Structure 1
Amino acid sequence: MQDIVYVVAKLQARAGKEEALRKLIEPVIEPTRQEKGCRRYSVMQDRQNPAVITLLEEWDTEADLDTHLALPHLQKIFAELKDVLGAPPDIVRYKEIG
């Protein structure tokens, strides 16, 4: 059985930075979906609070996810997120147990 890595990442934009957050994330959606090991990369905006964007991800392996996170364009985005987030990102890696 493959040990798929599930990720839920919740990002909360600072007031007035909602659009800036979307503009940072949108360009990486399709390229990420093409990466080795990416099974799912869904980006959603909270209907009740548009300042919150949640990413749901599934990766074949921890190594695939770690490779994704180390890519230069993602490192650049991580640095830029500091200017638009109102709270630290809430990122959790999960494994399926049933």
Structure 2
Amino acid sequence: MNPTDFSLPSGATGATGATGAPGARGVASQQPLSFIAVLKARPEAREALCDALRALVLPTRQEPGCLDYQLFELTDEPGTFYMRESFMDELALEAHRETAHFQAFAARLEPWLAEPLRVIRLQHIA
């Protein structure tokens, strides 16, 4: 999968959720887009991937449409990273994918991965 398309439901693996929900008056309202990107590093590429992911955090958090951008590493699987992301809407997500910092990351990503990037779309329940 192309990392620049990672958030699109048609290219993602894993669970998908709706982006809209009934509003207080029964009218659909736009919910933020939320998902978790799962990136598993090759053993020799763990540090490089971790550093590159860390470098994405601050500039992404400063994007106008970014609501949440948190990096985690599994404690029982070092080298497996979860990036929890939330954007205001599809336009904000598209703007993120077009930033120089994301494009630079996406261009270097593939050799670091032990398996394809996995994206889990989330639907906020409560």
Q: TM-score, normalised by structure 2?
A: 0.72
Point out which structure has higher relative CO (alpha carbons under 8 A, 6+ apart): 1
Structure 1 residue 20 corresponds to structure 2 residue 48: yes
Deviations 1:6-50 (A, max 9, x none): 011000001221101011111121111111111110000000011
User: Superposition pairs for residues 13-92 of structure 1, below 5 Å?
Assistant: 13-92=41-120
Give the aligned length: 98
Distance in 1 (alpha carbons) for counterparts of 2:85 and 2:57: 11
Aligned to 1:17, the other structure's residue is in SS state helix
Larger mean CA deviation between 29-38 and 86-95 belongs to 86-95
Over the aligned positions, Cα root-mean-square deviation in angstroms equals 1.4
Stretches (4+) displaced over 4 A: none
Distance in 1 (alpha carbons) for counterparts of 2:86 and 2:111: 27
Structure 1 unaligned residues grouped into runs of 5+: none
Structure 2 unaligned residues grouped into runs of 5+: 1-28
In our comparison, the structure showing a higher alpha carbon Rg is 2
Distance in 1 (alpha carbons) for counterparts of 2:72 and 2:125: 25
Q: Which amino acid aligns with 1:90?
A: R
Contact 2:59 2:101 in 1 (8 A): no
